[in-house]
Amino acid sequence: MADSLRDQLLKSGLVQKLKSEAKPEQPRAPAARPGGRPGDSRGPRPGQNQSQGKPPPRGANSAPKPPRPAGGEPDLAQAYALRARSEREERERAQREAEQKAREKRERREQVARLLNGKALNAADAEHARHFEHGGKIRRVYCTQDQLAALNRGELAVVQHNGRYLIVAVEVAQQVKAVLADALVLLVDPNAPVEDDVPADLIW
């Protein structure tokens, strides 16, 4: 039996070609607009970067802060730092001055000790007390009768060294005074006017 017309067409491939030509075309998706998604006809949203579709970085549109003028007032932290440094320098300066004064005083005392070495005239058997004012209080040094008269005439003097009162010659007392003025505690001026009628050699 001869093949039907349809079978002959299938064999020749003409039917498949006609089916493919007769198949309706699918509608094409609209082209995506710049900055939008495929198929999104609304376009980029406000605030989005049109080139990348992302929001602009935070602060990108804010104006840059103007630099602080060079001659402006320092901020609070700088003010505290300056104050702390000033106070520290003041303490260090005061400490250096105190150390310098202590060192100078120590050197003067050492010099006074050298001047008084072997120059004290205090007698071991002295029994006369010579009173005088020193440091706001009445003090005394024991001396002989002759030394008492010499002290009252200004021929001898009394100096203080290491907590002791030493009787010395006037020349030695003047040298000590030149080095350490506070060390001289008694030196009568024979030319001073007499304020009362108390004898100079009176024991009091």
The model's pLDDT over 31-41, given as tens digits with 9 standing for 90+, comes to 555 554 555 55
Percent over 70 (pLDDT), the chain: 58
The answer to whether 158 and 172 are in contact (CB under 8 A) is no
Average pLDDT, the chain: 76
**Closest Cα partner for 167 from 191, 140, 193, 194?**
140
According to DSSP, residue 142 is labeled E
pLDDT at 16: 57
- Give me Rg for the CA atoms of the chain: 58
53 against 118, higher pLDDT: 118
SS3 category, 167: strand
Helix (H) / strand (E) containing 107: helix 76-116
Percent over 90 (pLDDT), the chain: 49
Distances from the Cα of 167 to the Cα of 77, 145, 171, angstroms: 63, 13, 12
- For tokens 């702390």, what's the residue? 84
According to DSSP, residue 41 is labeled -
The answer to whether 141 and 168 are in contact (CB under 8 A) is no
How much is the average pLDDT of 96-117?
91
Confidence of residue 191 (pLDDT cuts 50, 70, 90): confident
Tens of pLDDT, residues 158-170: 999 988 999 999 9
**Residue 2: alpha-carbon gap to chain centroid:** 119
151 against 193, higher pLDDT: 151
**141 CB-contact burial (10 Å; exposed 0-12 / middle 13-18 / buried 19+):** buried
Residue 87 has pLDDT above 70, yes or no: yes
pTM: 0.51
Confidence of residue 1 (pLDDT cuts 50, 70, 90): very low
Distances from the Cα of 54 to the Cα of 49, 80, 107, 163, angstroms: 5, 45, 82, 91
Q: How many Cβ atoms from other residues are within 10 Å of residue 200's Cβ?
A: 13
